[in-house]
Amino acid sequence: MNYFIQKLPKAELHLHIEGTLEPELMFALAQRNGVNLKYDNVEALRSAYNFNNLQDFLDLYYAGAAVLLHERDFYDLTMAYLKRVHQDGVVHVELFFDPQTHTERGVKMEAVVKGIHHALEDGQKWLDISYVLIPSFLRHLSEAEALVTWEQLQEFIPLFGAIGLDSSEKGNPPTKFDHVFSKVRESGLKVVAHAGEEGPSAYVWEAIELLKVDRIDHGNRCVEDVELMAEIHRSDLALTMCPLSNLSLKVVSDLSEHPLLELMERGIRVTINSDDPAYFGGYLSENYMQLSNALNLTKEQIIQLARNSFDASFITEKVRESYHKKIDAFIEEYSS
């Protein structure tokens, strides 16, 4: 089953590129850029990856991002991720990055966007991994700051497929960003937002009704609201769920309690993703494998989750059809 999962063609739709910064690369970039880390070595840094909640993780996440200063750094970070997930059967990625994490440190927007984008272009050319690039606003900052970032992103808009909302959810409801996302929608870009991870199911309602999201990131707390689940099903909104992230951040105490299967059985299009794999102990296939073991998923359910990943993606129908054919071809080859 693990071999089947690893080689099965699939897409990753919820991935923060800053969250793929492995300790080895973090130390290499720190040395290259003359940045002092408060950890003596890779082992000491890895031992810090023990979080009680989302904020514990974010504190380390933002500290680690300090080594990312130049276009080459963002290129190296992104290419390392693409090479890694190429081994996991990933053929399409929809990749988040946090512009404000970098611009507030004085890093130029151009360096961030171009470094990531050039790596994605090379990944498509060399590894045959297609992509959608998604900048995200940090919800612990103000909407005024998000509007400034929106203006800074304007020259790069043709490179993006959507705009997202992430970071600390508690106390930062989607309503806080209603105005900036109205501008995003006017531009023709799609909208995604983290909701219902640590925040309540009410935040998912706000993301749907006020931000008019095209997809919900996480959405765990949907199971607390039957009407909400019915609305998500009716609207054919997908959820990009992240099992090992949820386990690491104590959103669930055990993967056997993860709501993915219940949501799936209600007809909601759920997907499996890795979120911040360098910090949460597993890339995409590992998330599939561990959740499959915990929930006793069947091979048919695993195949459906892979199909969901393409159906929930922001690709054209022609490309989507080609990826479904890849799944069909793999299943036929595997079964022979």
Q: Which residues belong to the active site?
A: 197
How far apart are the C-alpha atoms of 149 and 315, rounded to whole Å?
25
State how far the alpha carbon of 145 is from the alpha carbons of 109, 150, 196, 227, 274, in Å.
14, 9, 23, 34, 28
Please tell me what DSSP assigns to residue 65: G
Tokens at 101, concatenated: 């994490």
Question: Nearest-CA neighbor of 264 among 303, 321, 293?
Answer: 303
How far apart are the C-alpha atoms of 250 and 306, rounded to whole Å?
25
How far apart are the C-alpha atoms of 50 and 57, rounded to whole Å?
8
- Write the DSSP string, 153-192: HGGGGGGBSEEEEES--TT--GGGGHHHHHHHHHHT-EEE
State how far the alpha carbon of 8 is from the alpha carbons of 99, 277, 286, 329, in Å.
32, 19, 13, 10
Contact between residue 284 and residue 88 where contact means Cβ atoms under 8 Å apart: yes
Contact between residue 184 and residue 161 where contact means Cβ atoms under 8 Å apart: no
> Which residue shows structure tokens 């870009």?
189
